[in-house]
Amino acid sequence: MRAVRAHARGGAEQLRLDEVSKPEPRAGEALVRVHAAGITPTELEWSETWVDRQGHDRTPTIPSHEFSGVVEELGHGVTHVVVGEEVYGLVPFDNDGAAAEYVAVRARDLAPKPVTLDHARTAALPLSALTAWQAFTEQAHVHPGDHVLVHGGAGGVGVFAVQIAKVLGARVSATASARDIEYVRSLGADVVIDYKADRFEEIISDVDVVLDPIGGKTTDASIGVLNDDGTLISLAGPPALTLPEGRNLSARFFIVEPERSQLIELARLVDDGRLSVEVSEVFPLGDAAAAYDFGRTARRRGKIVLQVTEA
C-alpha cells in the first residue's frame, strides 16, 4: 500500500510517500481502507508521534490520526463492525496513523460514519469533536444553564466546542478574530469577543467552564473570569499556575481518547443537523507535506484533509 511516512524527527520536510506492506489486523482489530484522513499540523511536534508508550523510537512513523473509510478485513473476535461497513474513528496517538491506504485499528474504537457526510468531511470530525465532547461531559460536566467560555471559537476544537456546549444547554461566550465573529455567532455563541480589539476579562464574568487551547497569558486571565466553583480545561498543556485560595476552582489538562459510544453520539448530532463540520482544504495523499505546511502557515477555518481514495 501507499503510506506517508517520516523516517526521522522533524517537520513536514521529513514526510515521504512510500510503498509499504499492508497491515494485518490482529485479534480485536479491523483493517480499514482509508478514504480520507484529517491532519493536525502540530502533531509532528508531539512526542507520541515519534515514540511509543515506553519511550522507544518508532520511526518510520505514519501521521494523521483521524479517518473515514470502509472496513475491509476483521481480526479474530471482532463483533463491533462488519466487512463493508463505512466507519470513522481516532487512532491512538502512539500508533501509526491513517495517512495511508489502509489502517489497522481496534474495532471497539470504530463507529458508523455519519450518513449525511462524505468521507472527507467525516475525517474532520473525530479528534476535535471528541476533544470538545470529553472536555464538557467528562472533565467539566457542563449542565444546562452553565456559562461556558471557548477561546478560539473558530479554531479546530473551538468550532465544535461552541456547538457542543449549546447542545448541552450552556450559555456560550467565545473569543475569535474580527473576521470570524459572525461565523462563530452562526455556530451558536451568544457573545463573541474580538480578542485583538478587546480584553475578554473586562467583558465577561461568572463563567462556569473555560476551554483554553491557547495557554500562556490567556490561561492566566481566564482564572479571573471563573466563578467560585469554576473549571478551566487546558488543551495547550498542564496549566502552570497557582489557583487562588478561598475559591473552589480547578484547572486541568487532558488528552482525548478514542471512544465508540461518543463517536456514535457525534454522528447522530451531525445527521440531526445539530453539529456542522467545516473543511478548509483537501490535499491528495501524495501532497501530505504540502498539507502540513499549509496548516502551519494558512489561517483558514476548518480541518485540513488528505484524500486517500478518490471520491
Instruction: Give start-end residues of each CATH 3.40.50.720 domain in the chain.
Output: 128-253
Q: What confidence score (pLDDT) does residue 311 get?
A: 66
Q: What is the pLDDT of residues 44-80, one digit of tens each?
A: 988 888 988 888 999 999 999 999 999 999 999 999 9
Q: What is the pLDDT of residues 203-230, one digit of tens each?
A: 999 999 999 999 999 999 999 999 999 9
pLDDT > 70 in the chain, percent: 100
To the question of domain 2-125+277-307 being in CATH 3.40.50.720, the answer is: no
Give the per-residue SS3 of the chain: CEEEEECCCCCHHHEEEEECCCCCCCCCEEEEEEEEEEECHHHHHCHHHCECCCCCECCCECCCCEEEEEEEEECCCCCCCCCCCEEEEECCCCCCCCCECEEEEEHHHCEECCCCCCHHHHCCCHHHHHHHHHHHHHHCCCCCCCEEEECCCCCCCHHHHHHHHHHCCCEEEEEECHHHHHHHHHCCCCEEEECCCCCHHHCCCCEEEEEECCCCHHHHHHHCCEEEEEEEEECCCCCCCCCCCCCCCEEEECCCCCCHHHHHHHHHHHHCCCCCCCEEEEEEHHHHHHHHHHHHHCCCCCEEEEECCCC
Which top CATH class is 128-253? alpha beta
Instruction: Give start-end residues of each CATH 3.90.180.10 domain in the chain.
Output: 2-125+277-307
Is residue 31 scored above 80 in pLDDT?
yes
